[in-house]
Amino acid sequence: MSQFTAPSGRMRRVLTVTTATIGLAFLPGVAMADGPDTDVLSSVVPSAPAAGLSPADLPGVVDELTEVPLPTEVPLPTGAPAPTGAPAPTDTAAGDSGLPSGGLDDSALAGLFTPVCDSGLLTGITLQLDALTDLLGQLPAPEAADMADAGDEVSSLGLIELPDTGTLPELPTELQDLVDGLIAGDLDPAALTDLLRELIPCPEETAPTTVGAGTTPGATTPTTTAPAVAPVAYLGYAPTGVDSDQDDSGVPLTAFGGVLLLGGAALTGLRLRNRAARATD
């Protein structure tokens, strides 16, 4: 076993192998469990020609990946673009022990999965077909190494050399369990789910944040907000004005009442006067 001097590089390689393995061998099943819309494997087939593969070749590729050893040195695929923004590997024989991350495009790997979250909890993963296509195109020849050996190596790396104070303190154990499951062909779905939740954390609900490894850099999820209150449609007419100077209705009505009262009183007086006159006669 080689000794590594760059924990972050080792971690990335571990994640590379693990993610590729999970993505190719298991995630289709996980995704299919979510429903027909997430049938990733069947979705991959139409995209495969872009990677130079025929649909019929894909299952074989997966099988071969699980049977043949990985290469000790990973050459860049012919015509594949060099990774940008990352230093080129300088001494793979000394430090990388044949793990393939140096030959893979980090951006393609990082964008392979994006999380689907509910209330801050990972509930699903979306496989980015473009990223997968790029990744498949960068994979080395299948006869290079044995996948089981790679799993052992990953297991060893995870147990021995992961940093003690890393940001993923539980990852080595979970990774070991996962790799053991991979080797034994008895993968615990719960362990896989836990690992994926560690690898692909959901952002905080109140503030969009960049998600972690295995996702598109800078990808965010929409901010969760409180249920919106129905907006009020305010009315546009308020007849609240009056001009008492021009108000000529109140006074006449009052005057009318007064006239009626005076008229009644006058008539009453007239009647009384006539009656008194008749009585005198």
191-220: which residues touch another protein (CB under 8 A)? none
For position 241 contacting another protein by CB under 8 A, the verdict is yes
Give whichever of 186 and 245 is closer to another protein, judged by the CB atom.
Answer: 245
**Integer Cα distance of 150 and 70 in angstroms:** 7
Q: According to CB under 8 A, which one of 35, 246, 277, 280 is a site residue for another protein?
A: 246
**Integer Cα distance of 12 and 176 in angstroms:** 16
| Cβ-proximal residues to 43 (8 Å cutoff; 6+ apart), any chain | 127, 129
User: Residue 281 CB, nearest distance to another protein (Å)?
Assistant: 9
Q: According to CB under 8 A, which one of 87, 245, 277, 280 is a site residue for another protein?
A: 245
Give whichever of 218 and 241 is closer to another protein, judged by the CB atom.
Answer: 241
User: Residue 124 CB, nearest distance to another protein (Å)?
Assistant: 35
| Residue 67 backbone dihedrals phi, psi, to 5 degrees | -110, -30
**Integer Cα distance of 162 and 11 in angstroms:** 7
Q: According to CB under 8 A, which one of 60, 254, 273, 276 is a site residue for another protein?
A: 254
**Integer Cα distance of 134 and 255 in angstroms:** 96
**Integer Cα distance of 56 and 189 in angstroms:** 28
Q: According to CB under 8 A, which one of 268, 273, 276, 277 is a site residue for another protein?
A: 268
Cα diameter, the chain? 151
For position 276 contacting another protein by CB under 8 A, the verdict is no
For position 253 contacting another protein by CB under 8 A, the verdict is yes
Segment interacting with another protein, rule: CB under 8 A, options 115-123, 124-132, 146-154, 255-263: 255-263
CA dist list (Å): 11 to 129, 165, 195, 198 = 24, 13, 14, 13
For position 94 contacting another protein by CB under 8 A, the verdict is no
Give whichever of 165 and 278 is closer to another protein, judged by the CB atom.
Answer: 278
Coil, strand or helix at 125: strand
Segment interacting with another protein, rule: CB under 8 A, options 101-109, 153-161, 193-201, 230-238: 230-238
Coil, strand or helix at 137: helix
User: Residue 265 CB, nearest distance to another protein (Å)?
Assistant: 7
How buried is residue 248: exposed, middle or buried, by Cβ count under 10 Å (0-12/13-18/19+)? Answer: exposed
Residue with tokens 């006669």: 281
For position 251 contacting another protein by CB under 8 A, the verdict is yes
| Cβ-proximal residues to 262 (8 Å cutoff; 6+ apart), any chain | none
Q: According to CB under 8 A, which one of 60, 267, 273, 276 is a site residue for another protein?
A: 267
For position 33 contacting another protein by CB under 8 A, the verdict is no
Report the chain's terminal Cα–Cα distance, integer Å. Answer: 150
For position 273 contacting another protein by CB under 8 A, the verdict is no
Q: According to CB under 8 A, which one of 79, 237, 277, 280 is a site residue for another protein?
A: 237
Contact set with another protein (CB under 8 A): 229, 232-247, 249-251, 253-254, 256-265, 267-268, 271, 275
